Amino acid sequence: MIVINLDVMMARRKMSSGELAEKIGITQANLSILKTGKAKAVRFSTLEALCKALQCQPGDILEFREEDDTNG
């Protein structure tokens, strides 16, 4: 599964959701969907804007984790 680490990067940059949403040109509601991992996809243009605003690399935001098969 892909995990979105936006909260971590936002905390490191001391940036609020409102500030980040404004910088990248999306609504706070859509940013919340990304932050909670409920988004089914992320546009490259959005990922690029996130990286620019947070001064980071895509790998700082997106993380792949093996799913836990023990939960059935």
pLDDT in tens, 28-65: 999 999 999 899 999 999 999 999 999 999 999 999 99
Indicate if the pLDDT at residue 6 is higher than 70.
yes
Is residue 14 one of the residues assigned to a domain?
A: yes
Helices (H) and strands (E) counted in the chain, each on its own, are: 5, 2
Is residue 72 one of the residues assigned to a domain?
A: no
Is residue 35 one of the residues assigned to a domain?
A: yes
> Confidence class of residue 68 from pLDDT cuts 50, 70 and 90?
confident
How far is Cα 16 from Cα 21, in angstroms, rounded to an integer? Answer: 9
Check if the beta carbon of residue 72 is closer than 8 Å to that of residue 25. Answer: no
Indicate if the pLDDT at residue 72 is higher than 70.
no
Is residue 30 one of the residues assigned to a domain?
A: yes
Full residue range of the structural domain in which residue 20 is found: 2-65
Number of domains in the chain: 1
Is residue 15 one of the residues assigned to a domain?
A: yes
How far is Cα 5 from Cα 26, in angstroms, rounded to an integer? Answer: 18
What's the CATH number where 61 sits?
1.10.260.40
Indicate if the pLDDT at residue 69 is higher than 80.
no
